[in-house]
Amino acid sequence: MAPMLRLYNTLTREKAPFVPIDPTHVRMYACGPTVYDAAHIGNARPIIVFDLLFRLLRHLYGEAHVTYARNVTDVDDKINARAAERGITIRELTDGTLAAFHGDIRDLGVLMAEDVNVAGERPRFVEPRATDHIAEMHTIIDGLVASGHAYVAEGHVLFDVPSMPDYGALSKRPLDEMEAGARVEVAPYKRSPLDFVLWKPSKPGEPSWPSPAGIAAPGRPGWHIECSAMSWKHLGKTFDIHAGGIDLIFPHHENEVAQSRCCFATDVMAHVWLHNGFLQVEGQKMSKSLGNFITLREVLKDWPGEVVRLAMLKTHYRQPIDWTVRGLEEAAKMIDRWYGIVGDVAAGAEVPASVVEPLLDDLNTAAALAELHRLDDPATLKAGAGLLGLLGRTQSARADSAIAAAGVDVAAVEAAIEARRAARAAKDWPASDRARDALAAMGVTVKDNKDGTTTWTVSP
C-alpha cells in the first residue's frame, strides 16, 4: 500500500485522499505549451510543479505504474500567423520551437521521455502533439453531433452547452457570468452565446484538414477539443489527474470536461483537477507591454536550472509566486550549501520519510525543503533532494559545467598557471604578473594552497 497522498481538487474545492482508479496504472495529464514562441518563466511553473507530482507518484506507485501525458498545442492562430510571416509550414515552426523548449526545460531537471521510457514497455511519459490527433478529434466531434451535444452551423461544429445540464461544475461560475464572458465572442451561427467551437473552417492559406460531421470544406480544430482527444488516446475516457495553470479552468478545462463527458457518457473526465497559481515578476503581472516579460532562456543564461527549479518550488504550487532576483539569489545560496554537504557522494537508497511526508500533503514543497535543511548526512540529503528533482549532479560535475558555461579554455588556464609557477620560481615578477593578468582575463580565480598546490575556479 502506498502512503496516502492528499491533493486539493478544483472540482470539489477540497483536499482529499488521492485514490487512483487503477493503482497499478496511475494516469495524469497536464496541458502543455502552445509552441509558437519561446517559453516564458511563467510557463516553467506548471512544467516544474507537475514534474514534481510525476516524480512523487512514481515514488509512491512504482516507476512502471504511472503514465504522464503533457500535450503540445501545435496549431492555433498565433502559430498559423507566425508560420505565415516566416513563409514556413506550422510543422517547421513548431518543430523548432518545441526543440528549443526541450532544451530549456531539460536544464530545469524535468523528467523527459528519454529519461523514463523503457523500450518495449508502455510509455511512461508521452508528449502528444495536437496535429497528430486529428482522427481522434473527428471521432469525438462526430460522437457529439450524433448524441445531440453538438451541431453544424456555417462550416463550424459547435458544442451545444445547454445540452449538458451540469455544464460549469468545474469552474462553478454563475451562468450569467459565463454568458457575459461568452458574449464577447458573439457569432450569428451560435444557438447560445456559451456554445463553443469544436471545429472551424480554415481561412485561405491557413493549415487545414478534412472536416468531420459531413462538412465538405476543410477546416481546423478548436483549442479545447485537442486535449479531449489527446487525453483519451493516451490515458482513456476517464483518468486520475488533469493539471494545468489556474487560467485554464475556464473556459479551457470546463470545455474539455463537457466534450469528453458528453461524448463518452461518463460522470467525470478526470477525478482530480489540479491548478497551479500564477507567476508575477517583481510584484507586477508579467506582460509584453510592461516590458517585464522574461523568457526561460534568458533566466537560464544567468542562473543554473536547479536554482530556477528551487526558486519555483519554495512557494506552494497553488499560491501566486512573485519572481524576484532576490528569490533566485536565496535559492542559489541553498543549492551551494547543499552541494557543499553532498560533494560527490551517491544518493542513499531510501528517500527519507521526513521529506516524502510533507509532499503527501498536497505537495507542501516549502515544508519538504525545510526538512532537507535539517539533513546533514550527504547520502540521505542527496536522496531526499532527488525526489524533488534537485542535486542531480555531483559537486565536481557542477564545477566542470561552470567552467564550460564560462567558456574557459582549461588548457590555456593550466598553461598560464604553469607559467606563473615557473616565473615565481625564477623570481621573474613581471612574467608572474603577466600570467596573473592572463588568468584574470580568462575569468578564473587562482588559489595557492598551504600544501604548495595551486587550484582554480571560475570567478563568480
Q: Which CB sits closer to ligand AMP, 221 or 244? A: 244
Cβ proximity to Zn ion, 29 vs 303, nearer residue: 29
154 is an annotated ligand-binding site residue: no
User: Count residues contacting Zn ion (CB under 5 A)?
Assistant: 2
248 binds ligand AMP (CB under 6 A): yes
Is 288 annotated for ligand binding? yes
Burial of 323 (0-12, 13-18, 19+ CB in 10 A): buried
Closest approach, Cβ 213 to ligand AMP, in A, equals: 26
**Can residue 46 be called a binding residue for ligand AMP (CB under 6 A)?**
yes
CA distance 298 to 255: 34
Residue-by-residue DSSP string for 95-138? HHHHHHHHHHHHTTT---HHHH--TTS--SEE--BGGG-HHHHH
* 34 sits near ligand AMP (criterion: CB under 6 A): yes
Of the residues 69, 130, 150, 279, which one makes contact with ligand AMP according to CB under 6 A = 279
262 is in an annotated binding site: no
Piece of 28-36, 213-221, 325-333, 339-347 that binds Zn ion (CB under 5 A): 28-36
DSSP 183-248: GGG--TT-SSTT-EEEEEEPPTTS--B--STT--S-EEE-HHHHHHHHHHHHH-SSEEEEEEEGGG
15 is in an annotated binding site: no
Read off the C-alpha cell for 96: 523548432
Given the complex with Zn ion, which of 231 and 380 has the nearer CB atom? Answer: 231
Please, what is the minimum distance in Å from the beta carbon of residue 276 to Zn ion? 14
Could you tell which of ligand AMP, Zn ion, none binds residue 227, using a CB distance below 5 to 8 A set by kind?
A: Zn ion
Asked if 247 interacts with ligand AMP (CB under 6 A), we say: yes
Q: Note whether 245 binds ligand AMP by CB under 6 A.
A: yes
Given candidates 20, 219, 244, 352, which one binds ligand AMP under the rule CB under 6 A? Answer: 244
For ligand AMP, which residue of 9, 43, 171, 231 counts as binding (CB under 6 A)? Answer: 43
Query: 345-375 in b/e burial notation, b at 16+ Cβ within 10 A?
Result: eebbeebbebbbebbbebbbbeebbebbeeb
Burial of 95 (0-12, 13-18, 19+ CB in 10 A): middle
SS3 19: coil
Binding segment for ligand AMP among 4-12, 199-207, 275-283, 440-448 (CB under 6 A)? 275-283
Applying CB under 5 A, among 26, 31, 360, 417 the residue interacting with Zn ion is 31
* 139 exposure class (CB count in 10 Å sphere: 0-12, 13-18, 19+): middle
Query: Does residue 227 bind Zn ion (CB under 5 A)?
Result: yes
- Closer residue to Zn ion, CB minimum distance, 194 or 243: 243
- The span of 45-53, 82-90, 196-204, 225-233 binding Zn ion (CB under 5 A) equals 225-233
Pairing of β 150-153 and β 219-221 = unpaired
Distance CA 74, CA 97 (A): 10
CB atoms within 10 A of CB 3: 10
Measured between alpha carbons, how far is 404 from 458 in angstroms, rounded to an integer?
Answer: 10
Residue 34 binds: one of Zn ion, ligand AMP, none (C-beta under 5 to 8 A by kind): ligand AMP
Tell me the binding residues for Zn(2+): 31, 227, 252, 256
> Where along the sequence are the contacts to ligand AMP (CB under 6 A)?
31, 33-34, 42-43, 45-46, 244-245, 247-248, 276, 278-279, 286
